[in-house]
Amino acid sequence: MAKVKKTPRPKAETPKGFRDYFGTEVTERSHMLSQIARVYHRYGFEALESSAVETVEALGKFLPDVDRPNEGVFAWQEDAEGDKPGDWLALRYDLTAPLARVYAQHRNDLPTPYRRYAMGPVWRNEKPGPGRFRQFYQCDADTVGTSSMAADAEICAMLADCLEEVGIPRGDYAVRVNNRKVLNGVLEVIDHNHVLDRDAILRTIDKFDKVGADGVRELLTTGRRDASGAFIDGVNLHENQADVVLAFLTAKSEHPAKTLSNLRYAVGQSPVGAEGVDELEQIAELLAGQNYNPGRIDIDPSVVRGLGYYTGPVFEAELTFEILDEKGRKRQFGSVSGGGRYDGLVKRFTGQEVPAVGVSIGVDRLLAALHAKGRIGGKEAGPIVVTVMDRDRMADYMAIVAELRNAGLRAEVYLGNPKNFGNQLKYADKRQSPAAVIVGPDEWNAKVVQVKDLILGAKIAENATLEEWKERPSQYEVPRDQLVAKLREILAANGLG
């Protein structure tokens, strides 16, 4: 008889570029999201949750990252209905495009201006890389329907408050503000007749973070040989044109007034440039009365991320402390949030210009920063484990565990095969249990329980001499009715109270 071929087993794998989050990875993030939501809410923002799925038509093509042209969305076509071909649907790639759709759809019912916050996963159909996933969280706040710079200033202040709320102290972060209109002014100055390749200039400016002022100057003019020896062609600006761009990029001074006058110089007679500088000045003035001093929120034209996407003010929050990278070198942690003012998103739907400004906080980056600084990520204690000596008394063990849970203690009864007691303690170890409860026939009879302090036990096992072991027992016999009190004592002694 021929062998019957079995259907091969499915592979138990996350799709490429996706991952699973376990335990504290989930709870730390959800804690951070609720901290940020609390600040957003205090600022008067309303929660909005749109679905993960939008029509491709509604989403449009507004991906903010100019340097990833291959980036796309996950999309599929609905089944046809009769003759009518199905709509194309896609997973949202950010929370801003859905906001524009929601505002256009519900604008008659929403207040104007509409302050809203949203948090949740977004999806990008791009090549995954180390630490770069195709699903990640965004945590946004936007104000739709006002062109007042007070909205922009408010969002910068709120961003600073959020960072402090999640545990980044003042001094460890900087919110930096630039303005696309100032750049437009600069371009007007050097390219009054629109003959230059402005996209190429924009892409070059975007490299300022990586190659610095000298590098940008080379790339704007004659070209540059990079570290690998490869030669990158320049954009062929004249030196005096490059001067103006560099005057813009390096306008930052310690004194905001000086930064602004540097910018006024760079934009010369350009009306849009002057408008941009005025906006920055307004933001600075609006914040000055509120203790958001320079050093905390700064006008800083070296912020280039997002300049290609936003149409007015552009913000970025950077963490300024140093961490050690994977090779042990010190480096600044860098950007954790970005935002700015954008137009046109709602207009696509309604034809009406609706100004909007918003910010997006990268919670996964922020969590990584807090981990890197050791501010979160101490291992969470697991549940107290009630071990099982006699499987026929399972109801009694469950009654014990119910009593602990009703007292608010995190606890569970061992549900595996109880035959091998060692396995039960190994399980408690894997769960990082702070304590185990042990009740055998003798204990049932005497109405007592054994309580084992597993944290102390582990410490003793590691370090103690025999003498110390005797003096500091880690297992206690207590009357049955003192179990909860004893466990509370052990938790408190281990800083878990």
Residues 359, 329: Cα–Cα separation, whole Å: 31
Indicate whether 441 belongs to the interface with a copy of itself (CB under 8 A): no
Identity of the residue numbered 151? A
Residues 343, 355: Cα–Cα separation, whole Å: 5
For a copy of itself, the closer CB: 43 or 476: 43
Indicate whether 157 belongs to the interface with a copy of itself (CB under 8 A): yes
Indicate whether 148 belongs to the interface with a copy of itself (CB under 8 A): yes
Instruction: Specify the DSSP class assigned to residue 459.
Output: H
Site string for a copy of itself, 169-208 (x = CB under 8 A): ----------------------------------------
Identity of the residue numbered 289? G
The CA-to-CA distance between both ends of the chain, in Å, stands at: 67
For a copy of itself, the closer CB: 173 or 397: 397
What residues pair up with 356 in beta bridges, in sequence order? 144, 342
- Of the residues 95, 104, 163, 245, which one makes contact with a copy of itself according to CB under 8 A: 104
- Of the residues 68, 170, 214, 290, which one makes contact with a copy of itself according to CB under 8 A: 290
Indicate whether 131 belongs to the interface with a copy of itself (CB under 8 A): no
Indicate whether 123 belongs to the interface with a copy of itself (CB under 8 A): yes
Residues 29, 8: Cα–Cα separation, whole Å: 37
Cβ within 8 Å of residue 497, ≥6 positions away: 488, 491
Considering only CA atoms, which of 454, 453, 447, 456 is closest in space to residue 478? 447
Minimum distance from CB of 198 to a copy of itself (Å)?
24
What stretch of H or E contains 176? strand 173-179
Indicate whether 470 belongs to the interface with a copy of itself (CB under 8 A): no
For a copy of itself, the closer CB: 24 or 482: 24
CA dist list (Å): 488 to 107, 181, 343? 54, 61, 57
- Of the residues 3, 11, 194, 327, which one makes contact with a copy of itself according to CB under 8 A: 11
Indicate whether 408 belongs to the interface with a copy of itself (CB under 8 A): yes
Indicate whether 55 belongs to the interface with a copy of itself (CB under 8 A): yes
Q: Is 358 helix (H, G, I), strand (E, B) or coil?
A: strand
Considering only CA atoms, which of 155, 120, 151, 148 is closest in space to residue 135? 120
Residues 178, 335: Cα–Cα separation, whole Å: 15
* Burial (0-12, 13-18, 19+ Cβ within 10 Å), 135: middle
- Of the residues 67, 80, 85, 121, which one makes contact with a copy of itself according to CB under 8 A: 121
For a copy of itself, the closer CB: 198 or 348: 348
Applying CB under 8 A, what is the total number of residues that bind a copy of itself? Answer: 100
Indicate whether 382 belongs to the interface with a copy of itself (CB under 8 A): yes
Per CB under 8 A, the segment of 150-158, 210-218, 228-236, 437-445 that binds a copy of itself is 150-158
For residues 490, 492, 495 and 497, what is the CA-based torsion angle, rounded to 10 degrees? 120
Minimum distance from CB of 352 to a copy of itself (Å)?
11
- Of the residues 101, 176, 181, 452, which one makes contact with a copy of itself according to CB under 8 A: 101
Indicate whether 458 belongs to the interface with a copy of itself (CB under 8 A): no
- Of the residues 3, 13, 230, 463, which one makes contact with a copy of itself according to CB under 8 A: 13
For a copy of itself, the closer CB: 310 or 397: 397
Residues 497, 483: Cα–Cα separation, whole Å: 15
Indicate whether 421 belongs to the interface with a copy of itself (CB under 8 A): no
- Of the residues 2, 3, 4, 15, which one makes contact with a copy of itself according to CB under 8 A: 15
The Cβ of residue 282 has, within 10 Å, a number of other Cβ atoms equal to 16
Residue 244 phi, psi dihedral angles, 5° rounding: -65, -45
CB 477 within 8 A of CB 447: no
Site string for a copy of itself, 321-350 (x = CB under 8 A): ---------------------------xxx
- Of the residues 182, 189, 381, 413, which one makes contact with a copy of itself according to CB under 8 A: 413
Site for a copy of itself in 79-98 (CB under 8 A): 87, 89, 91
Indicate whether 74 belongs to the interface with a copy of itself (CB under 8 A): yes
Indicate whether 61 belongs to the interface with a copy of itself (CB under 8 A): no
The Cβ of residue 471 has, within 10 Å, a number of other Cβ atoms equal to 10
